[in-house]
Structure 1
């Protein structure tokens, strides 16, 4: 079909084409949203949609879609390969190989050896019996070996993020080895396309026109100098802290596109040229991060779903397959290849070669590196993951006549099957990693005072660092010799834009986000934490702050926090309240996503939890200030109040910056009478269930005795004979009097420490839950966090770790209090 006919078809049907494009994009997003719940990456939802379209021909004018991508399909994959090249550092190949690089090389070598051994079975032998490769040539053999040995590093990095395995030993090795494997094999394919680009014209001389090859290499070297100079110039025009100018970023993209076009003029494939230019582009720097983020966002949101649909719709029959199938020529020309007998043996052979090759090499090296059998096998399975690049290679090989239609279809199904199975391996790794951590009771009450105190703190922005610094400085002297380790977790919502900017990181995160806004936020948080350590906490290495990233959707972000606390064996998780204080002193409506995170952390945390309602505590009282902050701890009773009192006891030792007052609220005569009447009424209604009533009453008595004993010990250690710690006792009758007592204290203290009161069954808080707006704070914490309480008093609501989550409790009486 000539260009005029193509243009006329598109002109007549452009409305329908746009509608079909919209249907494909919307359906792809819906499928991804559904399959994401089982940790399937975006490439699987795109492939599934493409296979459905190719099988059932749901859309009416798929010919028009193929015509559109037939015109632009030759260079549609170039931006993807350019962004892939920018994320890679080719100079790392010149360094002495690290553990992840050795694993990558072993996987590549073993896969190539296996393809060599199966060379006879994978090449064509006759017209009626075809192997995977239709062309018997060194080009076809090496191309298949490199494609099977390739690891889709963007897919693997995203899976490591979603499955929370990026911080595990296997996860870090897999991400590092994946990007090395991807870089080496893609570079080999690019060099092969450079060498054999004229093989059809001059088969006797595969190294034809060496001058053109040398010219391509010279342009790539020139691209390295030009791109670095361009990036430095743009960085100078856009200093840190200012938003990047759109014109400058567009200029960089235009220069990169011009270099790619210039290389393609030298008769090299435009897509491979884009990869080489990206590889020559500096991988670090603000320009590179932002350029990769923007390109990946556009590709994942719009281009790649349409490209995969085009690839799947390109599965057509050839004349040979028509004759084998016994179809008439006119039927075959309109038939899809999926109507032919499915090439199961090709799918099995291609899957076996790729999987066994990775398993043999990676497992062997993993065992030599000290991994267990299961972990080494899982590492090999993760490095075998396929992605968009394999789909591109399959289409390019099919259009070049290297593979047949059935082989093309088999490879597409291999990629889909491989991507669907890999998340299961990741979930297995996460399960093994969790079980390998030796569990112990984690909480402030169970903390060994001779060891360092470990905290996990969630941060939404740099404005929350001052209060965290104050709490760290106040608590660390309750640990052994003032040692504290804080795992500062940046809480970042995983959106399509942030997902497109995920790249490998060299730190503990395993991966990081190069989006400009996220990078700027993390930079400001880091500067604030560094300032705290420099001012007052850095002496002798006693204060350790480790930076981590919780990159998840809000329903899953709690998992990052809990996994971090479990791995670090932390005693306390600190998370910010989902509401923040406005300029007029009131609390805003809050963010529902962060509220959901807090609720799930309270429910599933492996240690104690503290929710911070910040009203400028850190700004009013800096850790290096000589002024004392007035802190009040409220004790009514229950496990959470005992944990809050333990936290306050840690603060007692920091007398330079904290003046603590312990307030114990007890029942007056009226409240005691109401409590006795309530107990009598409960027992009378439970005559038919006397064991239950006896157990409940017994637990209340045990809790009361534990409260008295615990507070008496606190008084003996920290209040008696200590003028720096105050003590007050208030006798109240009900919740109204309790609220009145708290309101009378609101102007005297800058921080209230209270227990959440999950298991508290006191007449003093009866009825307060009915008026509570945020039940996750408990009845007292909700009152203190409300807008009409105070504009200057911050609140720390504490929940003690519930050991019953890990113990199989037969009788409550055997639980430690």
Structure 2
């Protein structure tokens, strides 16, 4: 009767239920979008929504969620644990423990010790945190408090930009190891204590059923490997995976989970063990994990967390303790009870103390400083969805009371809210310890290796950027040669890529297993390998380190700037946000996201920056230049010098390139003609009279009026001196020289247009501090102001279809250190 009533209620209200689920999912998404700005992970926004719904008791929602999840809640967490298992490699437990594993084990051990010490107040009938005084309750609590939510941690280190730091890499590795060991302990415990106290389970049955489960897990390992190989063979890399094949793998996994649960093992734990048996490497596993995680984080988990928070059941102990009358049919809300603050604080402090002691000690032994070791402990203490599931399971099994259930939910929320703050602290502290130095080509010591950070949107950018790397290499180190390149793959962080973040190897800490991203990164890798194969034949080697900038476009500049800071790079090379169409013109608007990244890097970079506008002329050259002999093809390059710090940096870059045998370089100096000089003089006089009148009126003089003309004079003196030195060193031996006398912006554009057919590459400064009458008014027509007035003209579609452009900006130390006068520079 009850069953038919439930199904009729469900069928009558399914559109209402869907509408309510939609509201929860949309609210959860909006809340997450807001909280992401303060680096809060998704589990926090889900918990916050659940707690608010439970607090205000939205009744129809409560009934809808509990009706649906009451039916399927028992196994809704299985896909999460399955995906978690697939990501982990249990064979690593058999190897001698790595540094990551040692940190993880130390954290688990110290947490267990703390739980043992405090087990008496913990395990009291009504007043304690745990309702049941038993070995399973004790071990379960120790395992859950020792657990680290590794999916939350990997995502957090990505958002906080600490995945590449020593602490970040160690935390991600130790988090995965800790998660694997503790979840395995919980799974094994659920096998040993299954049906505890239930009738019908004889002493003989228990070991037989446990052995049967182990057999199923071993069979799973063989079946899943065979399946993965078969599907991999049918779907070679580079081709889209067939939906049918992936569904088949998922179906086989579900069947194996069902087989384990038929042996009276909890279906969720069975799913984790089957996931562990799956191969963690390979295309099939990567795809399965990213698809499951995407569906879970977008749809299932927000609803599941709301269901857990809205659980209404009540134990008599707590109702009586709260002096609530126990009427017939009465259902008290957890939230109506006096709030168990001491339990929340006690559980939080105990778990945190346990993790901090062990992880700090292990971190110090690994050579970390005190602050870093503390940060490591705090990061590894992060809780997540698994802890919510364990609280629900313990509550269902009668191990904990309602109040303790509520305390654990709040403990998870508190823990997840605090951890990003700690992460931010480490990030800013680690950044502050970077040594002060002037970064840029002009300040580069030629006896040391030249370091570049190169941004890549995709494999199409590799030929051009590797050509530039190649020509810079000859001027970079002593006698041409030593070059270290940090090639950064710029990948947008969407919900789909976020679902595919896993622990990465090497320098990155985390990586993305999303099919499209993995394919793009593979192609970039192949293109870079091809370049290195050519280059490293000769004496001077190029070192290329691959990195991943995984961020939303709003934050991606942070990855690139941090990388340049850590690498102490002299120059960041970034592709222009527009690409060339087949007819030679640049596409209309280009990629808005990459434009935003370029703008922010230009604004905040810790070294010089160059934007590359590629018109296809550079990438074809690079395979001819890997030997010292005369190359088959000479590249004509012109560097335009009008004046200012950016133009001086452009000259420095050109001087490095001129040492390459395959480059024929010309320096073009643009000089004011008589009319331009007259206009410049008039402007200076105007400034002087304005300054005089302002001071005679006894009003404070504005800095701009008084300093502009004197600044101009100073800049011109520096320019003349710098160019004279440059001319003496390079012109005549390594490069040609042109001088053009120009009256205004229009004449300047005409001069550049006339040169366009003769050159394949134009190098120009961005010209932030260039206050020349020659570029006046050019800004008004600019499409891309971030390139500066001259750079914008060179980059526009109607300038050229064959000449590429390099727009250079010198690192501005004064702006970076917010210094007013040169004397106060911290260098």
User: Who is 1:770 aligned against?
Assistant: 780
2:636 maps to what in 1? Answer: 630
Taking the aligned partners of 2:36 and 2:145, their CA distance within structure 1 comes to 26
| Structure 1 residue 477 displacement after superposition | 1.1
Picking from 772, 784, 797, the partner of 2:794 is 784
Q: 1:406 aligns with which of 403, 409, 412?
A: 403
User: Quick one: distance in 1 between partners of 2:762 and 2:244?
Assistant: 51
- Figure out how many residues of one structure are paired with residues of the other and give that number: 811
RMSD: 1.7
CA contact (8 A) 1:133 1:402 kept: yes
Secondary structure, aligned partner of 2:214: helix
**Deviation digits for residues 576-618 of structure 1, max 9, x if unmatched?**
1111111111111201111111000000000000001011133
Q: CA deviation at 1:520?
A: 0.2
Deviation at 1:318, TM superposition (A): 2.0
Check whether the contact 2:502–2:511 (CA below 8 A) recurs between aligned residues: yes
SS at match of 1:209: helix
Aligned position for 2:45: 45
639, 654, 658: which one pairs with 1:648? Answer: 654
Q: Show the counterpart of 2:608.
A: 608
What residue number does 2:595 align with? 595
Structure 2 counterparts to residues 322-471 of structure 1, below 5 A: 322-330=319-327, 333-471=330-468
Q: Equivalents in 2 of 1:351, 1:480: separation in Å?
A: 54
Cα drift, residue 250 of structure 1: 0.7
Aligned with 2:622: secondary structure?
coil
Contact 1:366 1:376 in 2 (8 A): yes
In the other structure, the counterpart of 2:628 is: none
What is the DSSP-based 3-state SS (H/G/I as helix, E as strand, rest coil) of the residue aligned with 2:758?
Answer: coil
Q: CA deviation at 1:794?
A: 0.5
Alignment partner of 2:455: what SS? strand
Q: Is the 8 A contact 1:460 1:491 kept in 2?
A: yes
Matched, 1:278 2:275: yes
State yes or no: 1:672 paired with 2:677.
yes
Which residue does 2:548 correspond to in 1? 549
> Pick from 795, 813, 824: which aligns with 1:803?
813
**Structure 2: how far apart are the matches of 1:196 and 1:317?**
24
How do residues 295-310 of structure 1 correspond to structure 2 at under 5 angstroms? 295-310=292-307
Q: Counterpart in 1 of 2:698?
A: none
- Using the alignment, how far apart are the partners of 1:777 and 1:659 within structure 2? 25
Query: Larger deviation: 702-711 or 687-696?
Result: 687-696
CA distance in 2, matches of 1:608, 1:271: 53
135-144 or 616-625: bigger deviation = 616-625
- C-alpha distance in 1, partners of 2:677/2:249? 76
Q: Once the 2 structures are TM-superposed, how far is the Cα of residue 207 of structure 1 from its aligned partner? A: 8.1
Shift of 1:331: 8.5
Determine whether 1:699 maps to 2:711.
Answer: yes
Residue number in structure 1 paired with 2:121: 121
1:112-261 aligned at under 5 Å gives the runs: 112-125=112-125, 129-201=126-198, 208-261=205-258
Distance between the aligned counterparts of 2:313 and 2:722, measured in 1? 78
Unaligned runs of 5+ in 1: none
Tell me the alpha carbon deviations over residues 65-113 of structure 1, each in whole angstroms, 9 at most, x when there is no partner: 2010011111100000000000000011111111111110000000001
* Pairwise CA distance, 1:619: 3.2
Q: CA deviation at 1:815?
A: 7.5
Cα distance per residue 1:395-425 (max 9 Å; x no partner): 0110011111001000000000000000001
Q: Secondary structure at the match of 2:682?
A: helix
- Conserved 8 A contact 1:437-1:567: yes
1:663 and 2:668 matched = yes
Residue 685 in 1 paired to residue 690 in 2?
Answer: yes
User: How far, CA to CA, are the matches of 1:72 and 1:499 in structure 2?
Assistant: 26
Structure 1 contact 199–206 (Cα < 8 Å) conserved: no
- Structure 2 counterpart SS, 1:779: helix
Q: Partners in 2 of 1:810 and 1:782 — Cα distance? A: 30
* Partner in structure 2 of residue 55 of structure 1: 55
User: Which residue in the other structure is 1:535 paired with?
Assistant: 534
CA contact (8 A) 1:315 1:408 kept: no
Post-superposition CA distance 1:99-149 (Å, at most 9, x none): 111110000000001111111111124xxx431111111111101110000
Deviating more after overlay: 2-11 vs 164-173: 2-11
Paired with 1:815 and 1:304, the residues of 2 have a C-alpha distance of: 52
Q: Which residue of 2 aligns with 1:794?
A: 804
Tell which deviates more after alignment, 182-191 or 261-270.
Answer: 261-270
SS in 2 for 1:371: coil
Distance 1:331 1:502 in 2: 51
The offset of 1:809, in angstroms, is 2.8
Partners of 1:453 and 1:480 within 8 A in 2:
yes
1:766-806: CA deviation from partner (whole Å, max 9, x where unpaired): 00000001000000000000010100100000000001134
**Paired position in structure 2 for 1:111:** 111
The answer as to whether partners of 2:436 and 2:826 remain within 8 angstroms in 1 is no
**Contact 2:814-2:822 within 8 A present in 1 as well:** no
The corresponding residue for 1:289 is: 286
In 2, are the aligned partners of 1:473 and 1:537 still within 8 Å (CA)? no
Q: CA deviation at 1:635?
A: 0.3
- How far apart are the structure 1 equivalents of 2:580 and 2:486? 25
Would you say the 8 A contact 2:648–2:722 is kept in 1?
yes
State the Cα distance separating 1:348 from its structure 2 match: 1.3
Supply the distance in 2 between the matched residues of 1:16 and 1:332 (Cα, whole angstroms): 26
Q: 2 CA distance for matches of 1:330 and 1:798?
A: 78
CA distance in 2, matches of 1:666, 1:344: 75
Of residues 347-356 and 765-774 in structure 1, the stretch that sits farther from structure 2 once superposed is 347-356
In structure 2, C-alpha distance between the alignment counterparts of 1:614 and 1:816, rounded to whole Å: 38
TM-score (norm 2): 0.96
Superposed CA deviations along residues 458-491 of structure 1, whole A, max 9, x for unmatched, are 1000000000110001101112241101100000
